[in-house]
Amino acid sequence: MPLVLSSDMALGQTRITPRVSIEGAEYYIFTPTLTCLDVRKIQRADFVCNMSDYRGDILAAMDALITNT
């Protein structure tokens, strides 16, 4: 999932961009950009952590994005 530092961006639509904490830093899971990722440009170093603890938040964000609810 793409992440954005919460200090870099003020997002009001937290339903589709849930906020998470990774090693003491606050991030938004930037779900809307999932469809824009070029998988050929993703490098192993781009993977910073396992987000399985946030699975429910991620699925809810994707559902809200798709269903607009």
Sequential DSSP letters for 13-42: -TTTS-EEEETTEEEEE-GGGGGG--GGG-
- Containing 4, the helix (H) or strand (E) segment is strand 3-5
Are 6 and 28 contacting, i.e. CB atoms less than 8 angstroms apart? yes
pLDDT at 12 over 70: no
DSSP state of 45: G
pLDDT on residue 60 = 92
Q: Could you report the per-residue pLDDT of 25-69, keeping only the tens digit for each? A: 999 988 888 878 888 888 888 888 888 999 999 999 999 888 887
pLDDT on residue 13 = 66
d(CA 21, CA 65): 22
d(CA 66, CA 17): 13
pLDDT on residue 48 = 81
Greater confidence (8 vs 11) lies with: 8
pLDDT at 4 over 80: yes
